[in-house]
Chains A and B, each alone.
Chain A
């Protein structure tokens, strides 16, 4: 059984979806953040791929493209000790509270 990301030749009868959605600003920033972290030598493409590939099948298939990047970036930043999941949770709560 190939890994979740190894898709060449997987049975798939779905028509190719030509819908193009306008990129959200948060996605544009995730894309950019990925580039910045790469430029600073804090991550590389292979690490990002490895992190995405570690997602379970259900998550891999249900998350949108930049949602997967966000999950992967968290894995990399936490494993490198740059931040903890707890810190991210707390910051999310803070941002949410600031908005209500």
Chain B
């Protein structure tokens, strides 16, 4: 137990402690009852699981890499993310929360959080990482964003404005990272590999082409 009385780690992550056995069985019981009572079918659940799995950071990276190479597309993406996503074949359901894209630059660095729970642009980049949902990130990023950036190995000069966006309502925020130097002439596929999950949340910059070649 940490000095300040908080119990780090376990609430961040996935069930692997002593509670997991109980809760996994309880979830299984509820699912069985729902199916028995005709509320839903197993197929409903499995289809939904596959649908959720079908979105990953690669999807976001694809869209954002396209925005890097096509300035007119970028304008449309920043003005109306959902219509722009539809152009690339991403049809977000009506009931999904609204998506908006924020652009990072040399002057402005945006980063997203949900301090109240775990709101995240799932409909385009899939499930959030464990740390995003955890108490440490949610507590610290609003009050000390540059400290959090440092934890992720990102150092920003004071001349860059850091803006933290707390997704407290119907909007989800996807960060368009700054396009790294030395990427002229790279293909969209190669550029997409530079756009990491962390850069789309805003805790890191996109990877440099050198780091990808070296790694």
20 residue pairs bridging A and B, Cβ less than 8 Å apart: A7-B116, A10-B135, A12-B6, A13-B2, A15-B8, A16-B151, A16-B152, A22-B14, A23-B127, A24-B20, A26-B28, A27-B15, A28-B53, A32-B46, A36-B44, A63-B19, A64-B23, A66-B23, A70-B23, A88-B33
A-B CB proximity, top 3 nearest: A8-B115, A32-B49, A91-B29
B4: chain A residues at CB < 8 Å are: 11-14
The minimal Cβ–Cβ distance linking A42 to chain B, given in whole angstroms, is 7
Q: How large is the interface on B (under 10, 10 to 19, 20 to 34, 35 or more residues)?
A: 35 or more
Contact B23 A29 (CB under 8 A): no
The minimal Cβ–Cβ distance linking A67 to chain B, given in whole angstroms, is 4
User: Chain A: how many interface residues by the 8 Å CB criterion?
Assistant: 60
A36: chain B residues at CB < 8 Å are: 40, 44-45, 48
Given contacts A8-B143, A66-B23, contact A31 B127 (CB under 8 A): yes
The minimal Cβ–Cβ distance linking B163 to chain A, given in whole angstroms, is 15
Contact B135 A7 (CB under 8 A): yes
B79-96 to A contact mask, C-beta < 8 Å, 1/0: 000000000000000010
Q: Is chain A's interface secondary structure helix, strand, loop, or mixed overall?
A: helix
B123-160 to A contact mask, C-beta < 8 Å, 1/0: 00001011101111111101100001001100000000
Q: Does B27 contact A (CB under 8 A)?
A: yes
A37-59 to B contact mask, C-beta < 8 Å, 1/0: 11110100100010010000000
B residues in contact (CB < 8 Å) with A: 2-4, 6-17, 19-20, 23-34, 37, 39-40, 44-46, 48-49, 51-53, 95, 97, 113, 115-118, 127, 129-131, 133-140, 142-143, 148, 151-152, 166
**Neighbour of B14 across the interface among A24, A82, A92, CB < 8 A:** A24
